Structure 1
Amino acid sequence: MHRTQARHVTVEAHREAVRQLLAPLRTADRIQRLPLLAALGRGLAADILAPLDLPPFANSQMDGFALRSADVPDAGAELRVVAPVPAGTAPAALAPGAAAPIMTGAMMPPGADAVVPIELAVPDSFPAPNQPATVRLPAAPAGTFVRGTGSDIRRGELALAAGTCLGPGQLGLLAALGFTEVPAYRALKVLLVTTGDEVVEPGTPLGAGKIYDSNATLLESSMRQAGLDVTRTGIATDRPDELAAVLRRHSPDVDLIVTTGGVSEGAYEVVRQAMEGHDVQFLAVAMQPGGPQGIGTFDGVPVLGFPGNPVSCLVSFEMFLRPVLGALFGSPAPRPAVRARLAEALTSPQGKHQIRRGTLQPDGTVRLEGGAGSHLVSALARSNALVHVPEGIAALAGGAEVEVWML
Structure 2
Amino acid sequence: MKRRVLTLLSLTFALAISLNSCTIEVNDGLGGETIVTPGTTVLTGTINKDTVFKKGNYTLKGIVKVASGATLTIEAGATFTVDTSTNSSLVVLQGGKIDAVGTASDPIVFTTSTKTPGDWGGITLYGNAPIKAINGTTTALSEDGNAVYYGGDDPNSNSGVMKFVRVEYAGKKIGDGTSETNSMTFYSVGAGTTLENLVSYKGTDDGFEFFGGTVSAKNLVAYGNYDDSFDWQDAWSGQNNSNWYAFQTKIGNFGMEIESSSNIDNIAPKISNITLIREANTNPETANSAEISAIQFKKQGTGIFSNVYISGYKNIGSQKAYAVLIQDDATNTSQVANGKVKVEPLTYLNSDNAGVWGYAQTNGGKTFTNTATVTKVSLVPGAWATVDGVNLLAALQ
Please tell me the TM-score bracket, short chain as reference.
Answer: under 0.3
Q: How does the TM-score come out when normalised to structure 1?
A: 0.19
Q: How does the TM-score come out when normalised to structure 2?
A: 0.20
Computing the radius of gyration from Cα coordinates, the structure with the larger value is 1
Choose between structure 1 and 2: higher helix proportion: 1
Choose between structure 1 and 2: higher strand proportion: 2
Task: Indicate the structure whose relative CO is greater, using CA pairs within 8 Å and at least 6 residues apart.
Answer: 1
